[in-house]
A and B are shown apart, each in its own frame.
Chain A
């Protein structure tokens, strides 16, 4: 591998990592607050992709006719971005309300199974609906692809877009968690649920907010993935969801900067491994998971928690 290939793979890895990061943030936040691996999280991402797809065909021509030139593309992109956020967030809220909330005081594994059920339901329901169907669909070209030369590597505007959107959302999340009241409540609930309740925090509304934010981030990831790898299908969320979860574990689950770090490591590792051999590319995520869980189960940035007896 020469230097230009390496640089190129790093860019591809960063792009993939941005998508993983947006999914992993939701995973890690939900886990941090309700200690639930939300298996359906990858499907919120799929919902985001389908919502963007549908929205494009619903309003694409309308926007293109009322605005001209690049403004139309920008406005359309922003509307679709918001649409993907709202759809992902809404589905996440509904899943929380109807499937996870009634099980809050039951054993944790039963919510995990319910999450698998929700995930299956979303996938098969969409593939059973005649308007969606189980087959692959090409994602429309919202934005023209242009490429820039960056040293020896070629960078497309999609790389910049993915990185940019991910960065903006991450900054938004950091500000939200660090400096706002709801962020403080989230941190409190993730530290000690019962104490937070005693301090007058409405736990259910904090959990709902977390699901909303996590779901909307996953929805955006779906839109970006649709743009970058223009092919969507109802089961597209399974593998990225799993890999994003592994990225969250790698960074230290429940830890927001850790999820981002883990996702970028994961993205870069995956692109390099795929460049070597596609089989290794498929397996690298699980290999990373196994190594992390064996040698540093708390993750790169996580803190070790002792078992309470």
Chain B
């Protein structure tokens, strides 16, 4: 009996019984189903494109949630990191590849470019985080906003990457499977981080910074850790976005878009990965729905209804979420498949 329990086969089976593994396999199945549906043209390319954009926003929102929701640091310049990732990876795949063509397959170049973009974004996160994490709350918010704008202004003024025209002609390397798998990996990595010892430290900083410092947590180190990891994934998200819509433009990473990601985090619930995922999907689809809806409305009443109404509805949504459901859709709860089995012993999760 004992032998049997420790046998390779039962360990192998146990591995597949773990929720997170099941989650990974399940999401791969979902991916295959969506691809099949696309193959048989039940889902057209338009829907696939919206799903792609949603998945990029999942990456951005989950990574921002690590900083804002789990660590309690109020960062509102997330798109600045995404811009670093986008421009870095796009420079590699678009500009450098033209000068020095390699024999490497495209997807490998793309993955390397994405990772480099992510690393550079992480480095930016470190450079920004190091001085500004001595600040708290409101001040940190303004500081991150300022840095986000500075990063955008810098790209606006570098002629090599197109300046205010933007970087055009980026190859469309971001295909549905690549984006999907990256998003799933992001969710799993951040989930594993949050439920680890380090994650506990991050949560304690959110709950009470002074108290967590008193029990011996190096708060500055952990805050920078959260910032760097959040920025890394934002960079990867930015890279995917640039290769999805085939342009990297400074306005695409403006303050407005940082706020959009922020709305997703708050609407989904601060400190809930599943909340961020749901909110990213719901809001992206809502946004597209509104675009279509407003266009048909203006056809109907024979009067132009501006696209700005979409943003009016968005901002009202943000205000109403804050007024009537401050904790967001999911609060701090997670869907069950993201909670490790060990957490069930207490019968509750963080």
Contacts and interface: CB of A to CB of B under 8 A. Distances in A.
Nearest to B308: A128
Interface string B116-156: 00000000000000011011011101110111011001000
Contact of B322 (A114, A128, A238, A294): A114
Interface stretch (A51-59, A115-123, A149-157, A216-224): A115-123
A309 B131 contact: no
B210 A307 contact: yes
A239 to B, nearest CB: 9
Interface in B295-333: 304, 306, 308-309, 311-312, 314-316, 318-319, 322-323, 326
Contacts of A37: 138, 141-142
B314 A128 contact: no
B306 A127 contact: yes
A283 B137 contact: no
Nearest to A116: B259
B314 A120 contact: yes
Interface stretch (A61-69, A105-113, A197-205): A105-113
A245 B142 contact: yes
Contacts of B323: 99, 102-103, 114
Given A110-B322, A118-B319, A297-B135, A134 B308 contact: yes
B23 interface: no
Given A99-B323, A106-B326, A121-B312, A249 B142 contact: yes
Q: Is chain B's binding surface mostly helix, strand, loop or mixed?
A: helix
Nearest to A111: B322
Contacts of A35: 138
A225 interface: no
Interface residues of A, number: 43
Contacts of B309: 124, 128
Most buried by A among B146, B304, B306: B146
B135 A114 contact: no
A33 B333 CA distance: 34
Contacts of A297: 135, 139
B262 interface: yes
Contact of A113 (B137, B256, B266): B266
A246 interface: yes
Contact of B318 (A116, A238, A283): A116
B74 interface: yes
A242 interface: yes
Given A116-B259, A134-B308, A293-B132, A279 B157 contact: yes
A290 interface: yes
B147 A286 contact: yes
Interface string B255-267: 1100100100010
A95 to B, nearest CB: 10
A279 B322 CA distance: 36
Contacts of B146: 242, 246, 285-286, 289-290
A70 interface: no
23 contacts: A103-B322, A106-B326, A110-B322, A110-B326, A113-B262, A113-B318, A114-B319, A117-B315, A117-B316, A117-B319, A118-B315, A120-B259, A121-B316, A124-B308, A127-B306, A128-B311, A133-B306, A245-B142, A283-B150, A286-B146, A289-B143, A290-B132, A293-B135
A-B CB proximity, top 9 nearest: A128-B308, A120-B315, A117-B318, A286-B146, A124-B311, A121-B315, A117-B319, A114-B322, A124-B312
Interface of B: 74, 76, 131-132, 134-135, 137-139, 141-143, 145-147, 149-150, 153, 157, 210, 255-256, 259, 262, 266, 304, 306, 308-309, 311-312, 314-316, 318-319, 322-323, 326
